[in-house]
Amino acid sequence: MKLTRSTYFVIFAMLIFFNIRITIDQFSEEIGKQLYIPTFIIFIFMILIGIILAIKDKELLHVVSDERTKKVDRTAGYYSWWFTILFAWIYGSFAYFMKLTLNQYVFVLITEMLVTIFVFHLYLSFKGDLRGEIL
C-alpha cells in the first residue's frame, strides 16, 4: 500500500473508529454509546476527505508501483510480523498473569499489528536505500 496524503486520512479514520472507540467501550459502555455518533461522523468525514484527495491527485484508479515501493511494502510486512510474534510472546506472558480475556488480548495484538506495519512502512519509505540492511 502506497502511503500518500489521501491514505493518511483513511488510516487515521480507521484508527479512530475501530480502535479508540472500542477502547472507550471497554472502560464504560455508557460513554461508548454517547461517543458512537460523533466518532462515526468523524470516520465518515475523514474517509470523504481521503476520497476527495485521491480523486484530486488522480490516485484512485491510477496505481504506480515500482520495485522500491514493492520492496518497502514487503519489508514493512516482514518486520511487522516478526515484531508481532515477539510482542505476542511477551504480552502473552503478561496477559496470563494479569488474567486478561481473549478479546482484550486479540484487540491489543491487532492494534499492534496495524500500528507497527504503519510505522515500519513510514520509516522504510523515508529511509531511502534498502540494501539488505536491518533497520
* Structure confidence at residue 83 (pLDDT): 92
Domain coordinates in residue numbering, the chain:
1-64, 66-135
Measure the CA–CA gap between 88 and 78, rounded to whole angstroms: 15
User: Which three three-digit cell numbers place residue 33?
Assistant: 454509546
| Tens-place pLDDT, residues 85-111 | 999 888 888 887 888 887 888 888 888
In this prediction, the residues of the chain whose per-residue pLDDT falls under 70 are 1-6, 58-65, 128-135
Coil, strand or helix at 129: coil
* Structure confidence at residue 76 (pLDDT): 86
Query: What letter does residue 64 receive in the DSSP assignment?
Result: -
Residue partners of 20: CB distance under 8 A and separation at least 6: 39
H or E stretch including 46?
Answer: helix 29-56
User: Which three three-digit cell numbers place residue 25?
Assistant: 467501550
Cβ proximity of 77 and 117 under 8 Å: yes
Measure the CA–CA gap between 123 and 130, rounded to whole angstroms: 11
Measure the CA–CA gap between 54 and 6, rounded to whole angstroms: 5
Q: What Cα–Cα distance (Å) separates residue 130 from each residue in 2, 71, 76, 121, 133? A: 16, 8, 11, 12, 6
* Structure confidence at residue 46 (pLDDT): 79
